Amino acid sequence: MHTQTPWNRIVTTTAAVTEPVSLDRVKRSLGLDNVRDYDTTLQELIKSATNAVSNDLGRALVTTVYTLHLDRWPGREIQLPYPPLISVDSVKYYGDVTETLDTFSSGSYTVSTGGDPGVIWLNEDASGWPELMDRPSPIEIQFQAGFGADSDDVPAAIQAAVAMTAAYFFDQPLPVITGTIATELPLGVSRLIDSERFQRY
CB 79 within 8 A of CB 198: no
The C-alpha atoms of residue 106 and residue 122 are separated, in whole angstroms, by 10
Domain boundaries along the sequence of the chain:
19-61+150-194, 68-145
Longest dimension (CA), the chain: 64
Query: Which residue, 16, 34, 1, is CA-closest to 146?
Result: 16
**pLDDT in tens for each of the 201 residues of the chain?**
456 788 879 999 999 999 999 999 999 999 998 889 999 999 999 999 999 999 999 999 999 999 999 999 999 999 999 999 999 999 999 999 888 999 999 999 999 999 899 999 999 999 899 999 999 999 999 999 999 999 999 999 999 999 999 999 998 755 544 444 445 677 788 888 888 888 765
Q: Which amino acid is at 144?
A: Q
Query: Which residue, 40, 43, 21, 24, is CA-closest to 32?
Result: 24
Q: What is the pLDDT of residue 106?
A: 96
b vs e for 9-25, b when ≥16 Cβ sit within 10 Å of the residue's Cβ? eeeeeeebebbbbebeb
Q: Record the pTM.
A: 0.88
CA distances from 87 to 1, 42, 108, 147, 173 (A): 24, 32, 16, 12, 41
The C-alpha atoms of residue 196 and residue 93 are separated, in whole angstroms, by 33
pLDDT digits (tens, 9 = 90+) for 127-179: 899 999 999 999 999 999 999 999 999 999 999 999 999 999 998 755 544 44
